[in-house]
Amino acid sequence: MTTGTEYRVTEELGNGILHVFALPTDTETLLSLITEIFTDHWRQIGFGVIVQGAAWEVAAPNAPRRIGVYDGYVTVDFGAWHFHLCIGEHTASGPELGRIRRCARAELYRRVGGDGAPVSWGLRMFNAIGEQMMTVLLPNPFLSDSQELLATPDFSRLAAWDALRERYLGLGPDPRDRSGAGFRHG
């Protein structure tokens, strides 16, 4: 098993440094990843779109009632509302729009503070023209499920991060993930 160093470093304006771990974007992998996150971790995650000037951090009201794929789109249905992501071949809108809409980049990431310690962990997906499709904020050892600061870090909250790294990247736990002392925005 590797030590978790297989990432690329990127910088985002005003948001600190990211360690980005590229994921495969085939339909089977993305469907498995989305199903695992929303079935096994729905109580602890936030998700939405995070772009410069806007952050939609939504909490699931319950476990999904249904996750299915039709014409390249996965639907995650919570009952009262649902969302769609294009993760496979979409034909109804023609080949060019089908290509643009499909997830072309997926990545696990960790945001690293100035002291070199990670402060947040997640998944991001982008379409073929680089637009963000979704960010999933994974459980954070410095925050409760209701996003309250914890008095002391609870590194057991990295279980989802560790499981996703193991399953989709073949990477074991990284001691760096447990080196921080608290949450702070980048």
Torsion of CA 135, 14, 127, 157, to 10 degrees: -20
* pLDDT surpassing 70 at residue 3: no
- CB neighbour class for 1 (10 Å; exposed up to 12, middle 13-18, buried from 19): exposed
- Give the per-residue pLDDT at 13: 57
Give the global pTM.
0.93
Residue among 88, 91, 69 at smallest CA distance from 25: 88
| Residue 176 in tokens | 């760096």
Tokens coding 15: 């948001």
pLDDT at 63 over 60: yes
CA 31 – CA 35 distance, rounded (Å): 6
Task: Determine contact, residues 123/136, Cβ cutoff 8 Å.
Answer: yes
